[in-house]
Structure 1
């Protein structure tokens, strides 16, 4: 038993030291960014887990331990928020990402205050479901991601951090006294995955690339092979209007270009500046839609028809993408442009 306790202290202490260093790293590198604040919060949740699951605090009802317990149970929601900030280029209102954090905080507070088995069960089941959904979204988004470093980190993030968070949740719902070294092992896994994302590919590099206004207009900085591929790509998108195919993917586009997928991905990302394939394709779709909405001859054409003709598969994604680029809804844009100068 003594050996197990010593092993637990060693593993837990090592994980705590790493997480504290990573928290300081987030403060120093990204203190003025939203991503930095979320990263710091994620690190602090991991620290809270390692402290509150220690054998000497497991049955404690001290206020500070209860506070750490709440923070520990929020890790899954912060995990989802962090994944959205790093891997999702889709423009969404900030409150959407913070909603799961607020809900998990309420569940955690309910669990701590009532000490009800049902409350703890609801908290842990919700946490596991949230992590599974997040892992699925991160892995599914890999096919659409054009940033090679970020594509690799999706796997590390999903299996490293995801499984570590699930481990934290399962430990929190079981008798940790039977396996005193397990939280330390999970803590090491959590810290190692975070360390990989902090250092091997800094989170500033894997964060979503800023949007660009449109495709490049010059091939002067491209190699001969890139310039040739770029011209074929332009013809396919501008003349043949391949973007009108709502099911277009990077794989199907590469097949039409008769070029390896990685070369198409590199061209669109490194030369044209897009971090996400959907954003690249939507730039063409939105250009066509804006032209149609500003055309007086199409004033009676329904907005849904214009969206479908441009390649969007439904009105919801079209409205969100349109507003993210123009700052207004399609109907407002149409009214303003057709009204002419006041």
Structure 2
């Protein structure tokens, strides 16, 4: 088999797997943001598999330009996908679309005008620095969000998905910057296509090994009530640990502590962190530790906002007393749970009194 034939086979395999993955995500999780972003990411990777070349010269086929632009803009989708994957409460904003559009447009302009105008190295370097920047954001999101994830079966898969994508994209970006404007031969493209096919196959295999409903929540639901049903515990040890946890929440209000972590809470309860993670997820129904804490904080804030004796207390004071560090996250979390802002909630309670 020639290098050209091997490269074509690898590209075709990658595109086929990615299209099947995208179709599966759209079919099963079209109503879930992470599922839709995952499908968009798969389609962007398919465009990358068709159009990518390690070496970039000034002459880029015109039909390649849109595919290359979509491939470049896909790094923004990758970053958004990591955010949605690790935060069930994440929502897209209009500015996210503008960021994607600007990155895609710059790549398109670079293909058709900047590189052919004699500025190949500049165009390639800027595009790939953008790629590296969004990879860094995705890795940072993974590091920041991973400890709060309570669904054990998806934690390692999520990290694998992000690390595999970041490693492949980062190596390619650095490689393109180093060889911009020069010819490196067909072997490099064949190897790259083979690596991509292996990574896509590994990601598809990893996603099949975890319950899709764990990876992508079927529906965004409000956090469960903090009242625990004794029937949820299967044994006395779990019941005892949960009772102790709820006492810490209700009596000592540990959720008020700054930067409280699941590790610190497990230490207070004298149980392993993995066991506390499992209890909060499987017994109390939470998928994220921060949501668990915020639910208790919001319950306290709701009581304070409904209290006529605290009618003159500023909302930010109530938020800080409950354990929030700033007003913005408090407002967003409060509205996600109650459907109204804290100020509206206070007004409604006052008018109903």
TM-score by length of 2: 0.86
SS in structure 1 at match of 2:224: coil
1:180 shift after superposition = 2.6
Relative distance call for 1:203 and 1:29 in structure 2 (3 A) is same
Higher mean Cα deviation, 224-233 or 205-214? 205-214
1:313 shift after superposition = 1.7
Relative distance call for 1:20 and 1:41 in structure 2 (3 A) is same
Give CA deviations for 1:163-205 in whole Å, capped at 9, x if unaligned. Answer: 1222343455445743232321341244134314431225442
Higher mean Cα deviation, 198-207 or 68-77? 198-207
Equivalent residue, structure 2, for 1:257: 269
1:85 shift after superposition = 2.0
Relative distance call for 1:285 and 1:192 in structure 2 (3 A) is same
1:99 shift after superposition = 4.2
Residue 39 of structure 1 contacts residue 82 of structure 1 at CA under 8 Å; is this kept in 2?
Answer: yes
SS in structure 1 at match of 2:231: coil
Report matched runs for 1:86-105 at 5 Å. Answer: 86-95=85-94, 97-105=96-104
CA distance in 1, matches of 2:134, 2:148: 22
Equivalent residue, structure 2, for 1:214: 225
CA distance in 2, matches of 1:329, 1:277: 23
1:237 shift after superposition = 0.5
The alignment of Structure 1 onto Structure 2 pairs a total of residues equal to 340
Report matched runs for 1:266-305 at 5 Å. Answer: 266-305=278-317
1:57 shift after superposition = 11
Equivalent residue, structure 2, for 1:187: 196
Equivalent residue, structure 2, for 1:236: 248
Equivalent residue, structure 2, for 1:308: 320
Please list every run of 5 or more consecutive structure 2 residues that lacks an aligned counterpart in the other structure.
Answer: none
SS in structure 2 at match of 1:89: coil
Please list every run of 5 or more consecutive structure 1 residues that lacks an aligned counterpart in the other structure.
Answer: none
Relative distance call for 1:46 and 1:88 in structure 2 (3 A) is same
Residue 51 of structure 2 contacts residue 64 of structure 2 at CA under 8 Å; is this kept in 1?
Answer: yes
CA distance in 1, matches of 2:307, 2:352: 11
1:200 counterpart = 2:209: yes
Give CA deviations for 1:124-145 in whole Å, capped at 9, x if unaligned. Answer: 2111110111112112211111
Equivalent residue, structure 2, for 1:23: 22
Higher mean Cα deviation, 150-159 or 174-183? 174-183
CA distance in 1, matches of 2:291, 2:54: 49
CA distance in 1, matches of 2:102, 2:285: 37
TM-score by length of 1: 0.89
